[in-house]
Amino acid sequence: MVDPIKRALTRQRRIERGHFVVEQPDDTLVYVVKFGIAMAACLAAVEVASMAFLHVWNGEVFSALSAVSGIVLGVVIGRKA
């Protein structure tokens, strides 16, 4: 498994002594997490550009970045539970 996001979302459950069942995540979940990470990267780039060119902190972009990061972390932690 080459994809680190898919590997992070994969669950291993122990059934008996020494026997494990590997549950692969749904492809839709993997795509949603990848989209969320890409959105967080884009929003971070917008925030850096806003600070570099306008010399102003943009609170709306920061709150959107925080929301996207929280959703992605919630999906990953909820999947592992």
The parts of the chain modelled with pLDDT lower than 70 are 1, 80-81
SS3 per residue for 10-76: CEEEEEECCEEEEECCCHHHHHHHHHHHHHHHHHHHHHHHHHHHHCCCCHHHHHHHHHHHHHHHHHH
Residue 80 has a pLDDT of 67
pTM of the model: 0.74
Residue 56 has a pLDDT of 87
Residue 4 has a pLDDT of 92
Residue 53 has a pLDDT of 92
Residue 52 has a pLDDT of 93
Mean pLDDT of the chain: 86
Residue 1 has a pLDDT of 55
